[in-house]
Structure formats: C-alpha cells, structure tokens
Amino acid sequence: MDKVVVVLMVGIPAIIVIALVWVPAISTVVLSFTDWNGIGPIGDIKFIGLENFDNVVNNYPPFDPAIKHNLIWLVVFFVGPTLLGIFLAALLDKEIRGTRIYQSIFFLPVVLSLALIGFIWQLIYSRDQGLLNAVFGSQTDWFGDPDINLWAVLVAASWRHTGYIMLLYLAGLKAVDPALREAAAVDGAGEVRTFFQVIWPVMRPVNIVILVITVIESLRAFDIVWVINKGRNGLELISTLVTQNVIGEASRVGFGSALATIMIAISTVFIVIYMIQVVRERR
C-alpha cells in the first residue's frame, strides 16, 4: 500500500509536468525548424532547417528592439529591485517595530499578477485622470509615448519584483547562524562590515537563486506589457513577439516557435548554472 501511495504521489505530478511542460517545450523546439502555420494536418509540415532562425536574426526588424528591451529589463531588475530588496530585507531583519506590517505591505504586490498590476498602474499613469499627472500638473502619456513607456512599465514591474526579492533575502538572513554575527561583533566589526564580509558570503546559494529568478523574470516578462499595448510601440519583448506570431493574425507557428526556442536556450544557460551550484553545494 505504501508503495502504491508513493508511486501515485510521484507519478501523477511527473505525468502532469511532462504533459504541460516538457511536451510543449520539445514540440516548440521541433516546430521551430518547420514552416507550419498552425493550420492543416501534421503530415503537411515541412522542415526548413535553420531558415526561421536566420529570418529572426536578419529579416525581422522587431527582434533587435525586443532583445534590447529584455536586456534593459534585466539590468534594471538587477540594479533597482534587487538592491532595494536586499536593503529592505536587511532592515526588516533587525526586528524593528512593526516589522510584520512592513513585510506585509512590501510583499502585497507579489501576490498580484503582472496583468493586474498593469491595470493598477494605468490608473496612476493615465494621461487625463492619472495620479502622477495630477500631482505634477502634466499631460504626459506615460504608457503611450514610445520614448518613456518602457521605463514607466519597468517602474510598475519593479514595484512587484522588489517584494519578491525582499522575501527571498529575508528568508536567507533568518537562516544565517547567529553565532557568526556574535563572532563578528566580538572582533569589533560594524554592521556594514559584518553584512558584506560575514553574512553575504554565507548567502551565496540565495544569490544564485536570485540571479536565475531575475534572468527568467526578465525574459518571460509578458503580462503587463500585453495588457498595455500588446507589446508594440516601444514595448517590444521576445515573449510578445512569440505571442504575436503564434496566435496573431499571421499565425506563423514555426517562426514563433523559433523565437520561443531562443528564449528557452537563453534561460537554459542560467538554469544549468543554478543546477551546477546546487550539485556543488550538496557535495
């Protein structure tokens, strides 16, 4: 009976993961080498080799801006939410008065979807009735101007991501052996020196997790951009290009799959780095 329970507990989740993750991922990679348009029988699919990838890189104008925007998204997430999340985690780890309330306030945006956050920030950024323009007395179209809409979206996305990073680092700080802090205090080290020379090296596994999560979040950024303008007019991202080609009017499944395969390849690099780190820690 115990074996049956174990098999069911392991087997059912494994089947679900294979069906919903691995099968679509492998199918995407296979279809990236075809010219399938999503219509007609599978037998009519024609393999065209690397033609889709060549067209993505050399003959698809939105691709370069999308790569640039994803890189900007990654850099901003590292410089902004990550550093702010570390600061908030270190501050809340001191058990200041009202710590639980502050944690709840900062973590609240994390439980909201990016699509919902997009709707919330549309109320803040609205040109005619938005809070921001009302405060500054301007008529700036924050989400409509292609010169600034990416930065406006990044502020909204960072609002959510900061709480996520804060929670991860706060959990890491709680797991640090108090004896390390006590030893540093005995040696006369101040709080800043203790954090960077004693605590920070111990939190290396958490840092690797943050690195992987930040990269993946930057690549799969989609919801908030799609809600605003479907990834057009200065908000092109790789994820929105995939959607536009796979389920858009053009219905170029093979071409869209090539874009998705590029995303998978980039993500895999950082996932492998993370797995290597995990294996090393276990050894």
Q: Are residues 107 and 234 in the same domain?
A: yes
Q: Are residues 70 and 175 in the same domain?
A: yes
- Could you give the count of Cα atoms lying within 13 Å of 20 in the half-sphere of its Cβ? 6
Q: What mean pLDDT is reported for the chain?
A: 83
Q: Are residues 79 and 172 in the same domain?
A: yes
pTM: 0.82
Number of domains in the chain: 2
Residue 263 near residue 239, CB atoms below 8 Å: yes
Q: What pLDDT score was predicted for residue 72?
A: 92
Under DSSP, is residue 47 helix (H, G, I), strand (E, B) or coil? Answer: strand
pLDDT at residue 42 tops 70: no
Q: What pLDDT score was predicted for residue 261?
A: 92
Q: Are residues 24 and 73 in the same domain?
A: no
One-letter amino acid for residue 185 of the chain: A
Q: Are residues 39 and 134 in the same domain?
A: no
Give residue for tokens 């004896």. Answer: 179
Q: Are residues 272 and 220 in the same domain?
A: no
Give the tens place of pLDDT for each residue, 44-101.
788 888 898 999 988 888 899 999 999 999 899 888 888 898 888 888 887 777 778 8
Give me the domain span that covers residue 10.
Answer: 1-61+252-283
How far is 15 from 22, CA to CA, in rounded Å? 10
Q: Are residues 221 and 81 in the same domain?
A: yes
Q: Are residues 155 and 262 in the same domain?
A: no
User: Which residues, in sequence order, are CB contacts of 70 under 8 Å at separation 6+?
Assistant: 218, 219, 221, 237, 238
Give the tens place of pLDDT for each residue, 221-271.
888 888 888 878 888 888 888 888 888 666 788 888 899 999 888 888 878
Residue 246 near residue 253, CB atoms below 8 Å: yes
**Residue 61, Cα to own-chain centre: how many angstroms?**
24
212: domain CATH number? 1.10.3720.10
Backbone angles phi, psi at 47, to 5 degrees: -80, 130
